[in-house]
Amino acid sequence: MNYKKRTMNHLRIGISCYPTFGGSGVVASMLGFELAEMGHEVHFIAYAQPVRLTRHHPNLHFHKVEVTDYPLFEYPPYSLALASKMMEVACEQHLDLFHAHYAIPHAVSAYLAQEMQEEYRIPVITTLHGTDITLVGNAPSFMPITRFILKKSDAVTAVSQFLKDETLEVFQVVRDIEVIPNFVRNDQFNCPVNCPDIGPSKADETATLVHISNFRPVKRICDVVKIFSIVRSQRPAELLMVGDGPERAHAERLARELGVDSDVYFLGKQLDIDKILHESDILLQPSETESFGLTPLEAATACTPVIATNVGGLPEVIVNGETGFLLPVGDVVGMASKAMELLSNRDLYIKVAKAGRAMAIELFNVERILNMYLQVYEDVLHG
């Protein structure tokens, strides 16, 4: 098979991802935008325009996957339509590589497109985000194909060391997996850390707690409501619930049962996450598991201290006691007590907020992470 002649300063990259509010789609969109800014040509291939791809850029392109429905199909085969589209875009746009975000089905479709494209070989880079390994990929119906694609991808990256270890253990594959964490732009979540306004300064001032997610069971949003209700019993507070998903109705009912519903605001899906984080005092993330925790990273960057669970990749993003607080899953009393501590001790609040932002900028800044991805691209193209 031929290899295409490439130049590293103008790559043509095909990205497939979920175009929704989920973390993997957000990371893929942010990465695509930054690559476009650097002068690379980026082609998104998905069933809808990715939601965070809001800004126009001459180097950014979107190719919509149309899925033909037919009465015979109980489940229209999106993976095949995606593979066909990826192959087509690769030929028409002379793509240098495919970057698939989330193994199922994007990496599998990319592999099929690679096999179908006969002119030259297009490498496939697969980025694992979390549930593609911890929940979906290891389900019996997907396990064999996830293992297959882990072996077949030209490069595999994982968003945390936790996810890398989990992948190697669960799938028993022997291969290199590079840890490339998620990233933030510090100008997007810019925060004047010395600003006297951060955090509520008086006990009688309303504190704003926030939770942002897809409201799936893994996020334990009823724990968010329970934590809030304990805090609310001790001081004026409100809770912003940002996002939507299957657990919403449970959480709404629980808020009513606990008598705090008038202070809980379900805001639905929102794009202005930076604005919401700036207006909030604490982010609550009591997840069952979290392979990275993009929202905690964004909160830390915005100087909004995080209270989360000590699971998965969260300890790689938040250092317990220094840049936020991590407690065992389900420990709603402990999390409420940490929230109260932060809200009543202004020095501690400022210390944690500053440390969170400093760590985010040092370890997860866009330049550092972009270079890591570019190195992977270079390795697969020239290695």
**291 belongs to the binding site for ligand GMT (CB under 6 A):** yes
AA letter at 22: G
In contact, 109 and 87? CB cutoff 8 Å: no
| Displacement of CA 301 from its chain's centroid (Å) | 15
Q: Give the largest CA-CA distance in the chain.
A: 70
The residue among 18 and 349 lying less far from ligand GMT, judged by its C-beta, is 18
Member of 114, 131, 167, 337 binding ligand GMT (CB under 6 A) = 131
**Interface segment toward ligand GMT; rule CB under 6 A; list 33-41, 83-91, 290-298, 350-358:** 290-298
The least distance separating ligand GMT from the CB of residue 291, rounded to whole angstroms, comes to 3
AA letter at 382: H
**Interface segment toward ligand GMT; rule CB under 6 A; list 123-131, 244-252, 258-266, 271-279:** 123-131
**Interface segment toward ligand GMT; rule CB under 6 A; list 69-77, 89-97, 183-191, 288-296:** 288-296
The packing angle between helices 108-116 and 78-93, to 10°, is: 50
CA distance 186 to 23: 18
Structure tokens at 68: 């033909």
Residues 138-177 that bind ligand GMT (CB under 6 A): 159
Beta pairing, strands 207-213 & 237-243: parallel
Residues 197-216 that bind ligand GMT (CB under 6 A): 214, 216
**Interface segment toward ligand GMT; rule CB under 6 A; list 17-25, 169-177, 202-210, 325-333:** 17-25
Beta pairing, strands 155-158 & 124-128: parallel
CA dihedral 305, 309, 312, 314 (to 10 degrees): 10
Binding mask 87-116 for ligand GMT (x = CB under 6 A): ---------------x--------------
Count of chain residues binding ligand GMT (CB under 6 A): 21
| Displacement of CA 235 from its chain's centroid (Å) | 32
Name the site residues for ligand GMT (rule: CB under 6 A): 22-25, 27, 102, 129-131, 134, 159, 182, 214, 216, 218, 289-294
